[in-house]
Chains A and B, each alone.
Chain A
Amino acid sequence: MPVQDRAGETASAHQPTAPRRRPGRPRRPGRLRRIGLPYLLLLPALLFELLVHLIPMVVGALISFKSLTQLYLAQWQHAPWAGLGNYRIVANFNGSIGQALLHSFVVTCSFTAIAVGLSWLFGCAAAILAQDPFRGRGVLRAIFLTPYALPVYASVITWAFMFQYNNGLVNHVLHDELGITSRPTFWLLGDNSFIALVTVSVWRNWPFAFLVIMAGLQSIPRELYEAAAIDGAGIWQLIRYVTMPSLRSVNQVLVLVLFLWTFNDFTTPYVLFGNAAPQPADVISVHIYQASFLTWNFGEGSAMSVLLLLFLLVVSGGYLLITSPRRDG
Chain B
Amino acid sequence: MDSPAGKAVKATASRAPMAPPRSFIWTRRIVLSALTIFALLPVYVMVSSSLKPLQDVTGTFRWIPAHITVSPYLQMWQTVPLGRYFVNSLIVCTSAAALSVALATFAAYAVSRYRFRGRRVFTLAVLSTQMFPGILFLLPLFLIFVSIGNATGITLLGSRTGLVITYLTFSLPFSIWLLAGYFDSIPRSLDEAAQVDGCGPLRALLRVMIPAAIPGIVTVAIYAFMTAWSEVLFASVMTDDATRTLAVGLRDYSTQTDIYWNQIMAASIVVSVPVVAGFLLMQRFLVTGLTAGAVK
Contact = CB atoms under 8 A, between A and B. Distances in A.
Contacts of B17: 226, 229
A84 to B, nearest CB: 18
B42 A8 contact: no
Interface of A: 3-4, 7-12, 35, 37-39, 41-42, 44-46, 48-49, 51-57, 59-60, 63, 73-77, 122, 125-126, 129-134, 138, 140-155, 157-159, 161-162, 164, 166-169, 171-172, 176, 203, 206-207, 211, 214-215, 217-222, 225-226, 229, 233-236, 238, 257, 260, 263-264, 266-267, 270-271, 274, 284-285, 288-289, 292-293, 298, 301-302, 305-306, 308-309, 312, 316
A241 to B, nearest CB: 12
16 contacts: A11-B199, A37-B110, A56-B141, A63-B139, A125-B35, A143-B36, A146-B39, A153-B250, A218-B13, A229-B16, A264-B135, A266-B135, A267-B231, A298-B139, A309-B136, A312-B131
Contacts of B16: 225-226, 229, 233, 235, 238
Contacts of B229: 151
Nearest to A292: B139
A151 B203 contact: no
A126 B10 contact: no
A150 B36 contact: no
Given A125-B31, A267-B230, A38 B110 contact: yes
Given A134-B28, A222-B12, 6 more contacts: A52-B141, A153-B232, A158-B265, A162-B41, A167-B58, A172-B60
Contacts of A257: 131
B51 interface: no
Chief secondary structure at chain B's binding surface: helix
Interface string B134-168: 11111111111011001000000000000001101
A285 B232 CA distance: 12
B201 interface: yes
Contacts of A169: 41, 45, 61
B67 interface: no
Contacts of A309: 132-133, 136
B76 interface: no
A45 B171 CA distance: 11
A46 B168 CA distance: 12
Contacts of A35: 116
Contacts of A206: 35
Given A129-B28, A167-B58, A217-B13, A270 B233 contact: yes
Contacts of A12: 198
